[in-house]
Structure 1
Amino acid sequence: MSKEKVVLAYSGGLDTSVCVKWLQEEMNLDVIAVLGNVGQEHDGLEKIKEKALSLGVVACEVVDMRQEFVDQYVSCAIAANAMYENKYPLLSALSRPLISAHLVQAAHKYGATCIAHGCTGKGNDQVRFETSIMTLDPSLKVIAPVREWDLGMRPDEIAYAKKHGVPVPVTTEAPYSIDDNLWGRAIEAGVLEDPWNEPPADIWTMTVDPAEAPDTPTYVEVGFEKGIPCSLDGEKMGMVELIEKMNKIAGENGYGRIDMIENRYVGLKSRECYEVPAGLALIAAHKALEDLCLERDVLHAKLSLEQAWADQVYNGRWFSPYKQAIDAFMASTQDMVSGTIKLKFYKGSCVVAGRKSACALYDQNLATYDNDDAFDQKAAKGFIDIQALSLKTWAIKKSQVAQQQETSSVKLDVVSGTCPACDQAVNY
């Protein structure tokens, strides 16, 4: 009798390597490993595949998801200027629904009834994977071995790995938990768990210490077409290459570090450090171009929806109808967002140094304070009177009511006052 199949989101690390054996030994399942390349650091995806096969998986698929990641996920994040809690540009949260979609595809391909992941019960990723999978195919069962097994803390997990021949070169002294993709790096745990501790220098790998960055500014011109970054300094390139180059330029200038206390969806606060050089720079550039090109009411409405979009994605609701509805609005705003933004990087900072666009709604002839401006200042009086009419009406009525109340109060005092003559008559 054939075994049931499970598709595992595999990374090659300790947790997912032990997951393979746990699913085989404890649940008697055939394991199909899916390894997604979303631009993360690695020692070789083929080596990781060989490791999975050595653990006895029946198949291991290595999927290059980078182009899909930027075309369908990062581009949407840029359009939404996505910053969870106005700080974090959603690097991990963006990759999880993409990986989930490929896990579901693999389950359909191999006839698997289950999907497994290596997330803990304290993090956001478990929510993101399981919510995405549940939305894409509600019939699939999700198994979370790390959440379900009785292995206690990491030393017990390492002991289990050694017992079952899992070749994991790790020690109990591994200082940090790191997740990364093309969009950036997330670092947590270790000494970072004490929010009073300054992040050690060794956690940063994409960015130089701002104090050691070049002593002269670096200028970069970012070109956009309908909201999509498409060129650097006039050179056209695809988004994967553009993000890689921007990561290098911004990182060399010490820009892109985040150290924050973050509100996780599961209800606890965590201390997180991020490196997102390209993400922060491109979102800053995109926002500046929108300021130049979007009509005021559209821009204001968009600002009110950007945090909602970030919340939906952070909370694992990428495929929700609400998030998709916001996507439709965001997409409709981008037709006019074409032009060039000049960024200035200097010792850990990034500022917008210039902006230009054929779609700009900024009109220098209207905005100038020179004598030959095109703005009809005489029209301002009528505009002010009309827009303030409701407030003027309210103010007049408020004054009238106050006067009436004051008059009524005076009359009441006269009626209820003491009459000395009457007092004398009564007392007499």
Structure 2
Amino acid sequence: MKKLVIAYSGGLDTSYCAVSLSKAGYDVHAVSVNTGGFTEEEIKSIEANAYKMGVKTYKNIDAVTSYYNKVIKYLVFGNVLKNNTYPLSVSAERIIQAIEIIQYAKSINAKYIAHGSTGAGNDQVRFDMIFQTLAPDIEIITPIRDGKLTRQEEIDYLKANGIDMSWEKAKYSVNKGLWGTSVGGDETLTSEKPLPDSAYPSQLEKNNEQKIVLNFNKGELIAVNGKIDQPQHCIKELNDIASKYAIGRDIHVGDTIVGIKGRVGFEAAAALITIKAHHLLEKHTLTKWQLQHKDYLSSFYGMHLHEGQYLDPVMRDIEAFLQNSQSKVTGSVFVTLRPYHFSLDGASSSNDLMNAKFGSYGEENKGWTAEEAKGFIKINGNQNKIYQQIHSKS
């Protein structure tokens, strides 16, 4: 038997892969990675179905803490929103899932690894690049991509092999994780249609206004409403509170790794609130130049992560910069939740650079005289004055 590990979600594509590869003589070991999207009941159901597909073993890896420490933490430090919109919910997950799966494959000395990606999306790139980099000797097998299979062809094959489950395609494809939930449907295949409210997993439950306090320590969310916990648990707590207001819905339009435009809906209440609250605290505690250089480095970090370049050493370099930038980002941010939106009311920090003893913007200067201000302005304008005088005729 040829030992093979399959990235197994329990959906149609990975079910087809599990059955067909078992029939082809592979010793199939199914692995799914929990990045915050599985309940205990769902894990048990996926495991039971995996064995129906003929796998030899099934393993679910809890990677929520690893996901936070290796990726989410830096997305918060960088205030990363792709195209100023999307918190990289799914693309960030895939990186961690690929790393965990290939590490498991190496631990059991598997010679083959498989995933159910098609040839038209981003995930094939992320999985293949991680697998190739960390285990170049393990052969990658992709039955759906290689066979250019349609959904109906997969269903017909499974039925012919005695696997007759409910394969009807749900109207909306939902992928849930700690850092947000993606939602795809017919509407996201076009450019003009919005997703209906019913497509989003969290529905509006609360209409009242609610004020909450988020506490950060060196850039990490450590408490919600005074309840101190590990950051990943605080993110989940915040999402449980804010999702009842149907906060965090949007549609992201972006460039895929394979060169075509893509559109996807998402719901990420905790991610958006955390990033915006963290950014507000940074604006109070970091210098002008720290903020400026963080902006473009964070943008590079998010793009490289999305493109599957997580293992490039430049990512560790940027992470070191982002980590170091957070030493003074400690304090509280006050947030008001309302149906479908939130507002940042203010921040409090012992490191607040908006200190009245140096002056009040637009009101009173305490740290310099009027004559000093005039001299500063004159010298500050020298370059423009010289340029304009030299080129006045042109």
Q: TM-score, normalised by structure 2?
A: 0.94
Structure 2 counterpart of 1:425: none
1:387 paired residue among 377, 380, 390 = 380
Deviates most, 370-379 or 94-103 = 370-379
Q: Helix, strand or coil for the counterpart of 1:195? A: coil
- C-alpha distance in 1 between matches for 2:331 and 2:363: 29
- C-alpha distance in 1 between matches for 2:362 and 2:98: 58
- 1:326 and 2:322 correspond: no
CA spacing shift, 1:111–1:371, aligned 2, 3 Å: closer
CA contact (8 A) 2:209 2:336 kept: yes
Q: Helix, strand or coil for the counterpart of 1:119? A: coil
- 1:251 and 2:243 correspond: yes
Structure 2 counterpart of 1:92: 90
Structure 1 counterpart of 2:100: 102
Between Structure 1 and Structure 2, whose CA radius of gyration is higher?
Answer: 1
Q: How far is 1:247 from its partner? A: 1.0
CA contact (8 A) 2:33 2:101 kept: no
1:194 paired residue among 190, 195, 200 = 190
Structure 1 counterpart of 2:138: 140
- 1:130 and 2:128 correspond: yes
Q: How far is 1:183 from its partner? A: 1.4
**Paired amino acid for 1:187:** V
Once the two structures are superposed, the pairs formed by residues 15-414 of structure 1 within 5 Å of their partners are 15-26=13-24, 28-42=25-39, 43-151=41-149, 153-171=150-168, 173-208=169-204, 213-214=206-207, 216-368=208-360, 373-378=365-370, 379-399=372-392, 402=393
CA spacing shift, 1:384–1:279, aligned 2, 3 Å: same
**Paired amino acid for 1:36:** V
CA spacing shift, 1:395–1:371, aligned 2, 3 Å: closer
Q: Helix, strand or coil for the counterpart of 1:250? A: helix
User: How many residues are matched?
Assistant: 392
Q: How far is 1:264 from its partner? A: 1.4
**Deviation per residue, 1:146-173 (Å, 9 max, x gap):** 101253x2111111111123353221x4
**Deviation per residue, 1:218-267 (Å, 9 max, x gap):** 11111001110000112211223211221122212221001232321211
Deviates most, 181-190 or 270-279 = 181-190
**Paired amino acid for 2:192:** W
- C-alpha distance in 2 between matches for 1:354 and 1:65: 34
- C-alpha distance in 1 between matches for 2:333 and 2:287: 18
Q: How far is 1:108 from its partner? A: 1.3
CA contact (8 A) 1:207 1:250 kept: no
- C-alpha distance in 2 between matches for 1:206 and 1:219: 20
Q: Which runs of 5+ in 1 are unaligned?
A: 406-428
Q: How far is 1:139 from its partner? A: 2.2
- C-alpha distance in 2 between matches for 1:369 and 1:99: 48
Q: Kindly, what percent of the aligned residue pairs are identical?
A: 29
Q: How far is 1:58 from its partner? A: 2.0
- C-alpha distance in 2 between matches for 1:247 and 1:4: 43
Q: How far is 1:186 from its partner? A: 0.7
- C-alpha distance in 2 between matches for 1:177 and 1:122: 16
Q: How far is 1:30 from its partner? A: 1.1
Q: Helix, strand or coil for the counterpart of 2:346? A: strand
CA spacing shift, 1:213–1:394, aligned 2, 3 Å: same
CA contact (8 A) 1:230 1:238 kept: yes
Q: How far is 1:54 from its partner? A: 2.9
CA contact (8 A) 1:344 1:352 kept: yes
Q: How far is 1:174 from its partner? A: 2.3
- C-alpha distance in 2 between matches for 1:75 and 1:6: 32
CA contact (8 A) 1:85 1:307 kept: no
CA spacing shift, 1:140–1:396, aligned 2, 3 Å: same
- C-alpha distance in 2 between matches for 1:72 and 1:117: 22
Deviates most, 134-143 or 218-227 = 134-143
**Paired amino acid for 2:287:** E
CA contact (8 A) 1:223 1:230 kept: yes
- C-alpha distance in 1 between matches for 2:344 and 2:155: 49
Q: How far is 1:61 from its partner? A: 1.4
- C-alpha distance in 1 between matches for 2:137 and 2:363: 70
Deviates most, 85-94 or 38-47 = 38-47
Q: How far is 1:323 from its partner? A: 2.1
CA spacing shift, 1:108–1:371, aligned 2, 3 Å: closer
- C-alpha distance in 2 between matches for 1:393 and 1:274: 51
**Paired amino acid for 1:185:** T
CA contact (8 A) 1:13 1:168 kept: no
Q: Helix, strand or coil for the counterpart of 1:44? A: helix
Q: How far is 1:125 from its partner? A: 0.9
**Paired amino acid for 2:376:** F
**Paired amino acid for 2:353:** L
Q: Helix, strand or coil for the counterpart of 1:51? A: helix
- C-alpha distance in 1 between matches for 2:122 and 2:87: 15
Q: TM-score, normalised by structure 1?
A: 0.87
